[in-house]
């Protein structure tokens, strides 16, 4: 049995997502909302059946106990454990544990432990191959789109530094895992992010069923979930709870296509019975192809009791962005350059420029230095990769040629500051002599202003006609 351990609220969503796909797994987490079973709140007599050891088991939650006891309970119940926390935190807990229950061995013989950072970037195998941790890290990565870090080993926790997860470091090394790992190979004309999953389903389909079948299909085909771009289905099915749940778990948009659109798509496995039911002889395969223009079907339709899925890969053009990174400080990189770097699957440039670009690249992006960065970038873009050719300064010195195989764009940066040092003697232009100013005509003096004549009052204020009128009772 697989345990899913979330030591704080940041890991709860990922633990819940995996539990939805692995219904036989157990979730262990600390919360302060009172006891629960299978994600539903318990009250009354139902809670009397829950374990009263102060920890969560089988979805029942109690608070007031620390992470050591929670980890010990999970290891006592399960032979494989996925932890959602920093690697260093889990390693410290494993090294100072006081074993109780079935898994008493301090060396965790036969137990597979994987750690996933809450930013959903890496799945790190912490224990040896005998416990299946390496394989478990691969399965988790296929589902969550993380990068598997395979450590092998002999059943002991791998040493880790506090910065191992959430950065680009391998545990216990000073090397950059992404720069040192060989780049993954893909067929010519294929780039990451182009997979579309077509979905056909019945109204009675349970909410987790679509996500489970997608997960199983990707595993069997050896396709990473990180390459998924979108889901596609028949008009009206996008709001089905099972489709919505799969889209939320995978973080994907959903395309809907009418029956007429799908009927016009040629598929290898049409079904007359499906045509009679919904007006098109294919939903899963046709929807996948309809949302992958110019692409091809890479996984024919796969079925469960109530769901059918198929996978297509869109044909993609390469993309070459020439990016100027400015004077060399990360806060001087223009916003559009940062956005293009996050989009790139490959970055090419001089070491200094790559070091600065690394702050903006995705964890899975590859980085290359070459004697001819422009030529290397053109070659990768011609293979339909999304390439960032980076350079310090404004980047205008890089001039790759336009080509039919990729889109070319430029993102200029701030220019480099001028070189320090005194200017050359001949670089200073002589200052022209200033001509003498013309004589200024004096301004005539202003005549003095005569004093105003005194104003004489001809009558006292009480003698005013208005006062007489008021005294006489007339309206004023």
pLDDT higher than threshold 50 for residue 304: yes
pLDDT in tens, 281-292: 999 999 999 998
State the average pLDDT for the chain.
74
What's residue 445's pLDDT? 63
Q: How would residue 374 be classed by pLDDT, with cut points 50, 70 and 90?
A: very high
pTM: 0.44
pLDDT at residue 149, rounded to an integer: 84
Lowest mean pLDDT among 4-13, 202-211, 235-244, 454-463: 454-463
Q: Which band of pLDDT confidence, cut at 50, 70 and 90, is reported for residue 250?
A: confident
Note the pLDDT of residue 432. 55
Residue ranges of domains in the chain, CATH in brackets = 2-30+66-170 (3.40.50.11220), 195-313 (3.30.420.180), 318-411 (3.40.1010.10)
Q: What is the pLDDT of residues 397-425, one digit of tens each?
A: 888 888 777 889 999 999 988 876 565 55
Is it the case that residue 473 has pLDDT exceeding 80? no
pLDDT at residue 102 is higher than 50? no
pLDDT surpassing 70 at residue 110: yes
The answer to whether the beta carbons of residues 150 and 133 sit under 8 Å apart is no
């Amino acid at each position: 049995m697989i345990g899913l351990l979330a030591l704080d609220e940041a890991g709860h969503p990922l633990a819940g997502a995996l539990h939805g796909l692995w219904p036989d797994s157990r979730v262990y987490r600390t919360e302060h909302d009172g006891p629960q079973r299978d994600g539903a709140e318990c009250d009354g007599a139902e809670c009397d059946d829950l374990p009263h050891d102060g920890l969560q088991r089988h979805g029942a939650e109690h608070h007031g106990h620390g992470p050591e006891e929670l980890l010990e309970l999970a290891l006592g119940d399960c032979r494989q454990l996925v932890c959602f926390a920093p690697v260093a935190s889990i390693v410290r807990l494993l090294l100072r544990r006081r074993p109780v229950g079935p898994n008493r061995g301090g060396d965790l013989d036969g137990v597979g432990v994987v750690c996933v950072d809450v930013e959903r970037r890496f799945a790190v195998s912490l224990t040896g191959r005998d416990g299946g941790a390496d394989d478990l890290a691969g399965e988790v990565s296929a589902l969550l789109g993380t990068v598997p870090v395979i450590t092998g080993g002999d059943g002991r926790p791998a040493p880790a530094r506090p910065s191992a997860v959430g950065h680009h470091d391998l545990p216990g090394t000073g090397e950059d895992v992404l720069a040192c790992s060989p780049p993954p190979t893909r067929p010519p004309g294929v780039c990451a992010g182009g997979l579309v999953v077509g979905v056909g389903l019945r109204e009675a389909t349970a909410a987790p069923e679509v996500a489970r079948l997608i997960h199983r299909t990707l595993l069997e085909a050896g396709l990473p979930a990180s390459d998924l771009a979108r889901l596609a289905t028949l008009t009206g099915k996008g709001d089905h709870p099972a489709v919505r749940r799969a889209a939320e778990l995978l973080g994907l948009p959903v395309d809907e296509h009418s029956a007429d659109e799908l009927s016009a798509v040629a598929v290898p496995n049409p079904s007359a019975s499906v045509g009679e039911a919904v007006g098109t002889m294919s939903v899963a395969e046709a929807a996948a192809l309809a949302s992958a223009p110019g692409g091809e079907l890479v996984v024919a339709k796969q079925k469960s009791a109530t769901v059918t899925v198929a996978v297509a890969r869109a044909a993609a053009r390469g993309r070459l962005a020439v990016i100027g990174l400015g004077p060399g400080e990360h806060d001087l990189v223009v916003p559009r350059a940062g956005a293009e770097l996050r989009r790139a699957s490959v970055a090419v440039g001089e070491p200094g420029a790559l070091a600065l670009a690394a702050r903006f690249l995705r964890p899975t992006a590859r980085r290359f230095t070459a004697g001819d960065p422009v030529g290397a970038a053109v070659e990768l873009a011609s293979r339909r990769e999304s390439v960032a050719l980076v350079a310090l300064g404004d980047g205008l010195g890089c001039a790759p040629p336009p080509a039919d195989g990729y889109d070319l764009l430029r993102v200029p940066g701030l220019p480099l500051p001028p070189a320090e040092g005194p200017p050359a003697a001949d670089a200073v232009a002589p200052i022209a002599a200033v001509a003498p100013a013309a004589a200024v005509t004096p301004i005539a003096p202003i005549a003095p202003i005569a004093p105003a004549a005194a104003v004489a009052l001809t009558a006292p204020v009480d003698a005013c006609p208005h006062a007489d009128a008021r005294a006489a009772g007339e309206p004023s």
